[in-house]
Chain A
Amino acid sequence: MSESAAILPPSLGWILLALFSVLWVGLGIYWGRRNRNFEDHALAGRNVGLALGSATAAATWITSNTTMLAPQFALQLGVWGMLAYATASFGLFLFAPMAGRIRRLMPEGYTSGDFFRLRYGRVAWGIFLVFTLFYSLTWLVSMAMAGGILLNALSGIPYVWGMTVILAVCVIYTMRGGLAAVIGTDFIQSLIIIVGIVIVGFSVLSHVPVEQIHANLVEERPALLDVLFPAAIMAIFNNLLFGLGEVFHNNVWWSRAFAFRKGLGGKAFAYGGLIWFPIPVAAGFIALASGALDVPVPAADMVGPLVVADVLGMAGAIAIFIIVFCSLASSIDSLLAATSDLLTEDVYRRLFHNDAAPERLKQVAQWVTLALGIFTWAVCVPRVGTLATVLFFAGPLVGSMIWPIVTGLYWRSANTTGAVGGMLLGAGIGLVCYFAIGWYVATLIATAVSMAWVLACAWFSKSRYDWARLGDAT
C-alpha cells in the first residue's frame, strides 16, 4: 500500500512504534532480572497469579487475526461469521480443566513434548514434535508477515522495516525476560486491546445506530443476516475444532499450565475464555456498519481500520494502530517463548544434553529465541504471499492431535498405537480431503478419523498406564 493510501502518516506511525518498542523492551529487561535458571526463564518460577494468568490466556489468543479477521468474517459471513469466530474461545474453556490436571500429573513438567514422551514413547513424541514445530513456525512466520503488512497498510511504514522492528522488539524482551516478560506485557497489552475495542465500538455506534446498520443490510446484503447461512455454519465447526486442536497441543498453552500457581490453572484459563469470548463480535460488527456509513472497502481484510478511520478520523487511526501492534506483540512473544522452550527442552536437552545445568539451559533458550527470530525474519523478508496460507494446511495436523491428548490425560487405557495411528491417519486423510474437497472439511475429517482410531485402540487395549510415570518429567 502506498503512503498516501495509509490511514496514518508514516512519521506518526514511527513515533508510536518507537514508544511502544521502548516500553516493551524496558519492561522485559525489568521483569527478566529475577531469572536465574531455565525454570525461572521458561515458566516464570511456576508461581504466576490469577490476574496475570487470566490476562495472558486471553491476550495470547487475541492475535492480529482476532482484531483484523473478525471484521472480515463479519463482512463475508455476516452475523454467523462473528459468532463462529467467537467459538474459538471454547478451546480455552475446555483446556481449563485439563490445565489443572496437567499441573497435578506433571508438577515438574516443562513442555507438551514432555507429556508425549512420557505418556506415549519416543515415536509418538517425534511425530508430535514434527507436527507442532511445523504449526508453530508457520504461525510465527504468518504473524511476523502480518505485522509488516498491517503496519505498512495502517501507516505507510515500509513492510520490511515494520516487520523487522516488531520482530526485533519481541525477540529482545522475550530473550531477556523469558515467560515473565511475556506474561507481564500480555497483561498490559490485553487491557489496551480490550479498552481500545470498547472505545472504538461505542464511538462507531454513536455515528450509526444498530437499527440503521440492520436496515442497510436488509436492503443491500440480506445474506449477512441469514439465520441459515450454510458457509457460515460450516465455518463454526471448522473454527471450533481448529481452536480446540491448537490450544490442546501447543506448548504456548501447556507452558502456561505449568507456569500458573498450583490450583489456579483451571480458573485462569476459564477467565481467559470469558474475557476473549465477546471480542470477535465487539471488533467484528464494525464491518457490518461499512454499508450504512457508505465506506468503500477495496480489500475485505482492511474493512475494520477503514471504517474506524472514516468515523473517528486520526484518533481512530491511532487507536487501531495501537490495538493491532499490541495484538501482534502478544502472540509473537508467546510463540517465540514457547517454541524456544520446546526446542531447548525436547531437542537440546532430551536428545543431546540430558545432564545440562539449569543455568546453561536458560542461556540455550535465550540463544534459541534469537535464532528463531533470525529464521523468521529471513523467511519473511521476501514477502511470499502464499506462505501465510501454509498455516491452513496445519488444520488437519492440529485436529489429529486432539484425541491422543485428551484420552492420554484422562484414560489409562489410551496407548501408543492409538496415539501414533491417530495422528498419522487423521493428518494424512485430513490433508487428502483438504485438496480433494476443501479447507472447510479438512480439520473436521482429520479429527473424526483420529478419534475413531484412538477410541478403538483404547477400547481393545489391555494395558493400563501408571500415572506416576508422568511425574518423572525431570
Chain B
Amino acid sequence: MIFSAGFLSFIIYGALIWCALAALALAALLIRDMTKGDIW
C-alpha cells in the first residue's frame, strides 16, 4: 500500500500554504503588539 498522489499533493501544498499563513500571522501579531506598545 502506498501514499497516493492526491495525499502527497495535500501535504505538500498544505504545508506551503500553512507556512505562508504563519508568516503573515507573525507579521500581523508584530504590528498589533507595536500599536499597543506591547512588544516588550
Using a CB–CB cutoff of 8 Å, the interface residues on chain A facing chain B are: 44-45, 47-52, 54-55, 58, 79, 82-83, 180, 183, 187, 190-191, 194-195, 197-198, 201-202, 205, 210-211, 213-215, 218, 222, 225-228, 261, 271, 274-275, 277-279, 281-282, 285, 288
Contacts and interface: CB of A to CB of B under 8 A. Distances in A.
Contact of B15 (A218, A228, A282): A282
Nearest to B23: A194
A54 B29 CA distance: 9
B39 A55 contact: no
A452 B10 CA distance: 40
B30 to A, nearest CB: 4
Interface in B1-40: 1-5, 7-9, 11-16, 18-20, 22-23, 25-27, 29-30, 32-33, 38-40
Q: Which 9 pairs show the lowest CB-CB distances between chains A and B?
A: A281-B15, A51-B29, A278-B15, A214-B5, A278-B18, A225-B2, A51-B30, A282-B15, A210-B9
B2 A49 contact: no
Contact of B19 (A44, A187, A197): A197
B12 A198 contact: no
B26 to A, nearest CB: 6
A79 B8 contact: yes
Q: Is the interface of B mostly helix, strand, loop or mixed?
A: helix
Contact of B16 (A49, A201, A214): A201
Given A201-B16, A210-B9, A277-B18, A51 B3 contact: no
A45 B38 CA distance: 13
Given A191-B23, A225-B3, 15 more contacts: A51-B26, A52-B33, A58-B22, A83-B11, A191-B26, A197-B19, A201-B15, A202-B16, A210-B8, A218-B2, A227-B1, A278-B22, A279-B15, A279-B19, A282-B12
26 contacts: A45-B40, A52-B39, A55-B26, A58-B22, A79-B11, A187-B26, A187-B30, A190-B26, A191-B23, A194-B19, A194-B20, A197-B16, A201-B12, A210-B8, A210-B9, A213-B8, A214-B5, A225-B3, A227-B2, A271-B29, A275-B22, A278-B16, A278-B18, A279-B15, A282-B15, A285-B15
A47 B27 CA distance: 19
Nearest to A227: B1
Contact of B33 (A45, A51, A279): A51
Max chain A CB contacts within 10 Å: which of B4, B13, B26? B26
A9 to B, nearest CB: 29
B3 to A, nearest CB: 5
Contacts of B14: 278, 281
Contacts of B20: 194, 198
Given A52-B40, A79-B11, A194 B2 contact: no
B33 to A, nearest CB: 4
B26 A50 contact: no
A54 B4 CA distance: 34
Contacts of A191: 23, 26-27
A282 B19 contact: yes
Contacts of B29: 50-51, 54, 271
A281 B1 contact: no
B12 A285 contact: yes
A261 B13 CA distance: 35
Max chain A CB contacts within 10 Å: which of B2, B15, B40? B40
Contacts of B30: 51-52, 187
Given A190-B26, A198-B20, A180 B40 contact: yes
A275 B40 contact: no
A205 B8 CA distance: 12
Contact of B12 (A44, A205, A222): A205
A404 to B, nearest CB: 32
A198 B16 contact: yes
A274 B39 contact: no
Contact of A50 (B12, B13, B15, B33): B33
A228 B1 CA distance: 7
Contacts of B2: 218, 222, 225-227
Contacts of B8: 79, 210, 213-214, 225, 285, 288
